[in-house]
Amino acid sequence: MKNQKIGFIGAGNMARSLIGGLISSGVKNENLFAADPGEDRRKALTEDFSIQTFAENQKLVDKCDVIVFAVKPQVLKTVATALKTKESALYITIAAGIPSKSLNSWLGSKKAIVRSMPNTPSLVLSGASGLFANAKVSDEQKEIAESILRAVGLTVWVADEAQLDAVTALSGSGPAYFFLVMEAMEKAGEELGLPPETARLLAIQTGFGSTKLALEMDDSPEELRKKVTSPGGTTEQAIKTFEEQGLVETFSKAMKAARDRAEELAKELGN
């Protein structure tokens, strides 16, 4: 990936995170470019990362080997159909819900496309991204795409594009589930008599520590849960209450609802 020219169409938070992550991983800033109609955004990228920016998307496409669409799904069709594309380029989209078949059609067909589903922790270089490559993507291009998304966190490939809807339900929407749990713990802590700031700090740090433990230990989350649940203890009583209230079943229903909505959006946005 050393000599690849990588361009980002869109200069929002996710593009900024990817650019920053790539530079931190050793990619030279002269190989990174961005296009955005907003002058302030372009100026900020130039000042923060010393990269070249463009007001016109076509100028970026003409210059780059890899084009990353970092725009909202609702405008991707307009952006893509306006471009004169190159057959040799790799096109990566981080716009949720747009099937690769639709993007391929908008770009003029027969394009190497990687569709990705990153999540918001990518903004702090701790993301989780699902990736799917169409049949035109070479092994080298897959490595390039993986390196770009890995600059902001963990990456996993799926063989079936439909599985990206499950990725959306799990890791794409997942941060909100954890925030909801933190929110609920914070509120419950207050109801038990803790000061609001104390309850919030303990809830957030407990979430961080538990995640770090799960990442660094070989045990599964189930095994870790069992290890901290002493028979007859306080944790066991809390877990019993969660189970009696159907917490696991609720998560299953919620994620299926998220998956179903992702499928609906793909049909709506892909037309």
Q: For 6-164, which CATH superfamily applies? A: NAD(P)-binding Rossmann-like Domain (3.40.50.720)
Q: Does the pLDDT of residue 1 top 70, yes or no? A: no
- Identify the sign of the CA torsion 70, 89, 4, 158: positive
pLDDT of residue 269: 83
pTM for this entry: 0.91
pLDDT of residue 2: 67
Q: What is the mean pLDDT of the chain?
A: 95
pLDDT tens profile 187-233: 999 999 999 999 999 999 999 999 999 999 999 999 999 999 999 99
CA distance 58 to 85: 9
On whether the CB atoms of residues 17 and 43 are closer than 8 A, the answer is no
Mean pLDDT, rounded, for 58-82 = 96
pLDDT tens profile 10-37: 999 999 999 999 999 999 999 999 999 9
pLDDT of residue 96: 84
DSSP state of 262: H
Q: 56 Cβ partners below 8 Å, 6+ apart?
A: 35
Q: Does the pLDDT of residue 149 top 70, yes or no? A: yes
Mean pLDDT, rounded, for 151-178 = 96
Strands (DSSP E) contained in the chain are 6-9, 32-35, 52-54, 66-69, 90-93, 112-117, 127-133, 153-157
pLDDT tens profile 222-263: 999 999 999 999 999 999 999 999 999 999 999 999 999 999
Instruction: Copy the structure tokens of residue 91.
Output: 């096109």
pLDDT of residue 266: 86
Q: What is the CATH number of domain 174-265?
A: 1.10.3730.10
Return the domain boundaries, the chain.
Answer: 6-164, 174-265
